Structure 1
Amino acid sequence: MSTHTPHAAVTALRTRPELPGGTDERFAGYGIMGMPFASGHYLALREMVASSLGPPYRTIWHRDPRGRWTIHTTTDPEASCPRYFGAAADVRRVRSIDIAWTGDADVEVTLGGVLHWRIGLASSPATRILTAMGAMMPLRAMTSPSVLTAMGPMAGAVLGAGRMRLCGRTPNGPRFRATPLQVWRVATAEASHRGQDLGAPGPLDVQAALGDFWLPQRGLFFVGQASFTSPNPSADDVIAARSEIAS
């Protein structure tokens, strides 16, 4: 298997997961940064293979055409994405999210009977440039707020993904730094949610954002790292109030 394929990159990450340095709350993982559908639905996927807060976990983010977000997480919300984004979404603890690689660049994601998502990935000149930058730059530079502040708009323009920010504030208050080290584009995709076909991928009429985190207007797959400052004490109360165990 080529070491330059998405599956190979994920396999290498799982084999040797490494957290970024520092004292913030830190994660290493991969997923679909975001993918819009012309129907108004939006999906995102995270598998964090290493976490400074606890065990690895998976999450699926779903936005319906009315703009309502739901975050499905396989671990305690206080130790996963809802810790930072739960104030802007409903939160559901789920037993499992299945991720199956069916080829070097093809993956299927299943959330029980709720979601089935097939994704085909590919590289492009833009993704190759950004991945090369991630390989050449020292990790310390790649996690610098000033570098990430400059990289976000550049990445959005190069990828044709709309507005992008790689650092800023989350809905719950903590500040985030996202460091994509390898990037691919979503070339093909189909998904159904509760039996409804979500239709063709396509940009939203109005680009979605959760706090300062802008969701890309085209499907992007990443392998990378992220860090967050700690939430204020009220954040856990917000998460707990909105969390439920999915049936």
Structure 2
Amino acid sequence: MSANVLLIEHPAPHVVLLRINRPEALNALNAEVREAINTTLPRLDADPEVRCVVLAGSEKSFAAGADIKERAGMSAVDVMKMSTTRGIAAFSKPIIAAVNGFALGGGCEYALQCDIVLANDRARFGQPEIKLGLVPGAGGTQRLPRVVGKHNALYMVLTGAMVSARDALRMGLVCEVVEGNCDARAIELATQIAAMAPLTAKLIKEAVNSGADMALDAALRLETRAHQLAFATEDVREGIAAFIEKRQADFTGH
């Protein structure tokens, strides 16, 4: 595996920035990129010093889908044997997508797996697989409707059309649109999240993700258990004390 397809940066305390680095291919997601993400994120998940991750690409492209040249001539069996990228969705800590430029196909689906999606004003999102006779394979038919609704999702996956950052914001695919490069804003937001209680952040993420497909009563019980469990942490005591003493809390992740 090339060491350069995924750059690892440490832009702020407890924050890691992962940068997909195949600019010559608009950051197309080949096997090396998928393997790098699948091996790097579990390591960061196990590192107590890491509290939030930003996933980014280049100025021109977050990720322009799968590497189609790599897929040419593949059989169904070959595709079944391929490594998929589940590392993003399985990551237990907050992860932010910083989308500059194109987020197409797998790139859009990678952003969908993140917890917060920021985009610059030139970003373009799309699921163009149908133009190649393909079905989206990393969440385009499942995560996308859950985020933007059935009709918006079918519009995207049946036409293969790209949508602007502003339209993506309107659909709920994007949380915030930033003029120019959005990396700095993503790092700012990650730094803010990293200053919070990290165990609580994991509990919140788990409750939101697990409860999404539950009946409301069951999901509310899940939330109640997460709320109760947080009281087992030292960080809750620190947060309450800091509030009473009118000072900044110093969360340690215990």
The two structures have a TM-score, normalised by structure 1, of: 0.26
Q: Larger Cα Rg: Structure 1 or Structure 2?
A: 2
Answer 1 or 2: higher relative contact order, Cα 8 Å, separation at least 6: 1
Q: Which has the higher strand share?
A: 1
Q: More helix by proportion, 1 or 2?
A: 2
TM-score, reference length from structure 2 = 0.25
